[in-house]
Amino acid sequence: MTDWHFDVPTTGSKILPPDARSWEALSSQGYDFEVAVADLVDNSVDAGAKDVVIHFLRDGDQLVSLLVVDDGWGMDEAGLDVAMTVGGRRDYGTRALGMFGTGLKSASLSQADSVTVISRTRRSRPAGRRWVMERARSDHRCDIVDADYAQGLLDRYYDRPITWQGTVVRWDGVKDFPKHGGGGQTDRYLNRIIAKLGLHLGLHLHRFLAREDFNITIAVEDVRTGTVYLDYGVQPVDPFGYPISGDPTYPRRFTAPVAGLGDVTLHAHIWTPRSNLDEYKAVGSVMDRQGFYFYRNDRLVQAGGWNKFRQAEQHLSLARVAVDLPFEGGDVFRLTVKKSGVETSPEFAVALEHARGVNGMPFTDYLTAAQSAYREARRRSGPTREAVIPPGKGIPPEVRQVIKEELPVQEYEDPIEIRWQKLDGGAFFDLDRENHVILLNSTYRTAVLGGRRGGINDAPMIKSLLYLMLNQVFQKAHSGPREKDNLQLWQSILVAAARSELDRLADND
Ligand SMILES: Nc1ncnc2c1ncn2[C@@H]1O[C@H](COP(=O)(O)OP(=O)(O)O)[C@@H](O)[C@H]1O
Ligand SMILES: [Mg+2]
């Protein structure tokens, strides 16, 4: 019987190359369009590019291709072969954004029927390769692009952005493009996708875009007329770019001791409550944007999420924690293939429980502070308006309508009616608490109306103001001393105002 403790014994080996169908698996990673384009831009960044142009080509109403063009150091023939090889990669430094050697192929072929790469270095002539999905699938055959075409394509981008070196990646047969672009469909698609792409790149590459000498431009050109429709520079979207901290004692640094890896620094921030900035709101839902922001070599690889440390909740909306991943993330931080998230091991969760700030402040204090900042803001400008007794006769229907839209009303209460009546003693108004009536002294009616005609719905301004001032008073059976004093105060000021109105009316006669 086989002993469980033995290594598996072997009797030899044979080479089993991947079946051509492996291309399908490679191109079915579920990349979203903007995520796939971002993967190409990562390659440009890795090649030291300062200028990246994302170029949509249209022929009238039909979108035809997408090109990503950069002024990075480019590739020679041998470099192109490496680039087109699945898993192929150059030796890159520890600072690179690339990782698995699959991004270019997998991102491109998930989006397009073919991908053409044209490149030149300072020392090599323009050269190119192309993968056509169909052919790749049948026999792994990669096309060698005609040198004149390669030269011609690079010439089109002469000076912007390519002068002596650079790379063009071209997608044809892009699945995301509308099949029939008529009736404004292409324009609508472009507006939507460019906004989405701009935000995605702006967010994930914000640290690069903030640098003076790095730019990404999105442009749309009509191949037939040469008209450039749009030429727009991607703006950085800094997820920590709040105007003022939601808590004056933040941001704070916490140190998480990760077993087997060492200390990881957590930069804990609390956003300005109720912000309308793109940096806070524009990318996905605010709920999804709380939590960890992992950066790998300055590229944002996860934009929010608690990695099982906490559940996302409304009250933690203001909490965002920046974490620069160590060069050697080991098994603790594992980047997903699409670079759309980081998987963290249980050691990270343990380290968070032990994370401390200055004076030994536990990391959980931060969560509490973020929750209070959120709650406090809610309370201060809270949307809870107290219910009122509904407005009734005497207030014009259009005003009553607005009051009911703006305020919760106590439906079961009799509405407050306002009407004119002769009052003794010269008071401006009197209250019939039991019947919910405000009586206005008709002595002052002419003054209030200023010569206009009276009617049941007359004097809407003064009636609305009195309704607002006296609503509270009607909610109680009796007035306390403070309220009594207020009522007296309002009486005497309103009487003075009414007399003043009367004097003015007399002067005008
Ligand atoms: N725009 C580019 N400029 C220069 N070299 C590139 C460019 N795009 C891809 N490459 C080369 O192709 C290789 C493979 O790219 P890719 O499939 O995205 O995998 P990775 O980025 O993980 O290495 C890169 O390592 C790089 O050497
Ligand atoms: Mg890559």
pLDDT of residue 381: 65
In this structure, which ligand is nearest to the CA of 90? 1
Does 240 map to a domain? no
| Cα gap 128→151, rounded to integer Å | 9
pLDDT of residue 507: 83
Residues in contact with ligand 1 by the CB-under-6-Å rule are: 43-44, 47, 70, 72, 74-75, 82-83, 88-90, 98-105, 167
**pTM of the predicted model, to two decimals?**
0.74
Q: What percent of the chain has pLDDT over 90?
A: 66
| Cα gap 364→354, rounded to integer Å | 9
Least trusted range by pLDDT, from 3-7, 85-89, 194-198: 3-7
Cis peptide bond N-terminal to 251, omega within 30:
yes
Least trusted range by pLDDT, from 179-188, 251-260, 389-398, 403-412: 403-412
Contact 126, 120 (CB under 8 A): yes
Contact 60, 111 (CB under 8 A): no
With a cut of 70, say whether residue 92 has pLDDT above it: no
177 and 272 within one domain: no
Least trusted range by pLDDT, from 89-98, 187-196, 258-267, 419-428: 89-98
Backbone angles phi, psi at 167, to 5 degrees: -140, 140
Higher pLDDT, 335 or 146: 146
Q: 191 CA to middle of ligand 2, Å?
A: 27
Q: 54 CA to middle of ligand 2, Å?
A: 16
With a cut of 90, say whether residue 240 has pLDDT above it: yes
58 and 187 within one domain: yes
213 and 123 within one domain: yes
228 and 276 within one domain: no
Does 390 map to a domain? no
* Residue nearest (by alpha carbon) to ligand 1 atom 14: 83
Residue that terminates a domain, selected from 350, 380, 410: 380
Tell me the β-bridge partners of 116.
130, 170
Does 203 map to a domain? yes
pLDDT of residue 229: 84
Least trusted range by pLDDT, from 159-163, 243-247, 259-263: 159-163
Give kind and range of the element (H or E) at residue 378. helix 363-380
pLDDT of residue 137: 84
Mean pLDDT (whole number) for 155-176? 93
Residue 96 Cα: closest atom of ligand 1:
21
Alpha-carbon distance values, 324 to 304, 439, 489 (Å): 14, 69, 63
Tally the residues of the chain: 509
Mean pLDDT (whole number) for 386-400? 92
Q: Which domain holds residue 62?
A: 22-233
258 and 205 within one domain: no
In the structure, ligand 2 is a single-atom ion and the residues with CB under 5 Å from it are: 43, 98, 103
Does 12 map to a domain? no
Residue 301 pLDDT grade (very low, low, confident, very high; cuts 50, 70, 90)? very high
With a cut of 80, say whether residue 379 has pLDDT above it: no
Mean pLDDT (whole number) for 246-273? 95
Least trusted range by pLDDT, from 289-298, 355-364, 446-455, 461-470: 446-455
Mean pLDDT (whole number) for 305-332? 90
With a cut of 90, say whether residue 459 has pLDDT above it: yes
Higher pLDDT, 409 or 416: 416
| Cα gap 407→399, rounded to integer Å | 12
With a cut of 80, say whether residue 273 has pLDDT above it: yes
What is the Cβ-side half-sphere exposure of residue 504, based on CA atoms within 13 angstroms?
12
100 and 58 within one domain: yes
Does 29 map to a domain? yes
Backbone angles phi, psi at 113, to 5 degrees: -75, -30
Q: 324 CA to middle of ligand 1, Å?
A: 23
Does 362 map to a domain? yes
Using DSSP bridges, classify how beta strands 319-324 and 291-296 pair: parallel, antiparallel or unpaired: parallel
Residue that terminates a domain, selected from 205, 233, 261: 233
pLDDT of residue 93: 67
Residue 3 pLDDT grade (very low, low, confident, very high; cuts 50, 70, 90)? confident
Mutate to test the pocket of ligand 1, among 55, 89, 162, 165 (most ligand atoms within 8 A of CB): 89
Residues 212-229: pLDDT tens digits? 999 999 999 999 998 888
447 and 344 within one domain: no
325 and 216 within one domain: no
372 and 338 within one domain: yes
Mean pLDDT of the chain: 91
| Cα gap 310→313, rounded to integer Å | 9
Residues 20-74: pLDDT tens digits? 778 888 888 888 999 999 999 999 999 999 999 999 999 999 999 999 999 999 9
pLDDT of residue 2: 67
pLDDT of residue 408: 77
Contact 302, 288 (CB under 8 A): no
Q: What percent of the chain has pLDDT over 70?
A: 97
* Residue nearest (by alpha carbon) to ligand 1 atom 23: 101
With a cut of 90, say whether residue 266 has pLDDT above it: yes
3-state secondary structure of 328: coil
Alpha-carbon distance values, 31 to 113, 153, 302 (Å): 15, 27, 15
AA letter at 93: G
Residue that terminates a domain, selected from 198, 233, 268: 233
With a cut of 70, say whether residue 329 has pLDDT above it: no
350 and 259 within one domain: yes
With a cut of 80, say whether residue 286 has pLDDT above it: no
Q: CATH number for the domain including 104?
A: 3.30.565.10
With a cut of 70, say whether residue 260 has pLDDT above it: yes
With a cut of 90, say whether residue 506 has pLDDT above it: no
Q: Look at the chain and report how many structural domains it folds into.
A: 3
Residue the block writes with tokens 């306002």:
418
Q: 388: buried, middle or exposed (CB in 10 Å: 19+, 13-18, 0-12)?
A: buried
366 and 260 within one domain: yes
41 and 124 within one domain: yes
Mutate to test the pocket of ligand 1, among 27, 46, 129, 301 (most ligand atoms within 8 A of CB): 46
Does 385 map to a domain? no
Does 331 map to a domain? yes
Higher pLDDT, 126 or 25: 126
Token representation of residue 420: 């004119």
3-state secondary structure of 150: helix
